[in-house]
Amino acid sequence: MPISYYNENDSKGANPDNYFMKQALVEAQKAGERDEVPVGAVIVCQGRIIARGHNLTETLTDVTAHAEMQAITAAAQFLGGKYLTDCSLYVTVEPCVMCAGALGWSQISRIVYGAADEKRGFTRFAPAALHPKTEVVSGVLEEECSKIVKEFFKKKRSPLNPPLA
Ligand SMILES: [Zn+2]
């Protein structure tokens, strides 16, 4: 699985990766407003957003309700088919092993993520989970994507709510 690191200088003019990652950040914000860990995702097909999702694990009391899972389901419903072969997923944080598995099943063409997740990210535990043809780009708007999560946990911390790490 070749992962290329995003380089802003590679592109001229308006950068679609930046644009779509900002839309994923809007989704992350929505999760944060519901007191969910702020992770957001969008799926793009032929230059247009066909699905959006944000983390809903608390709201749905479901550990599988990650932003990517919501977006994969919505995209398949929109397209009327389970495969996302001509689609790109933009997600603010590196997908976990579960989501990488689901993205593998979907045969999605491209995955673009912002911040790396050293604790739960798939690149560490299951780099082969994706479809072999899936292209992966990391580091798009990395700082914003990681800041929103860090600030969320900073707010949550109190003597009764100690940090996990
Ligand atoms: Zn996940």
User: pLDDT tens, position by position, for the chain (165 residues)?
Assistant: 667 776 665 554 468 999 999 999 999 999 999 999 999 999 999 999 999 999 999 999 999 999 999 999 999 999 999 999 999 999 999 999 999 999 999 999 999 999 999 999 999 999 999 999 999 999 999 999 999 999 999 988 765 666 565
Q: Helix (H, G, I), strand (E, B), or coil: what is residue 50? A: strand
DSSP string, 66-93: -HHHHHHHHHHHHHTSS--TTEEEEEEE
Hunting for tokens 């407003």 — which residue is that? 33
Half-sphere exposure of 80 (CA within 13 A, CB side): 0
Q: Among residues 27, 36, 68, 94, which one is catalytic?
A: 68
Residue pair 99/89 in contact (Cβ under 8 Å)? The answer is no
CA 65 – ligand 1 centroid, Å: 8
Walk across the sheet containing 3-5 and list its strands: 3-5, 135-138, 110-115, 87-93, 40-45, 48-54
| Known catalytic residue at 135 | no
CA 41 – ligand 1 centroid, Å: 11
Which candidate, 99, 92, 103, places its Cα nearest to that of 130? 103
pLDDT at 159: 59
CA 13 – ligand 1 centroid, Å: 32
CA 31 – ligand 1 centroid, Å: 14
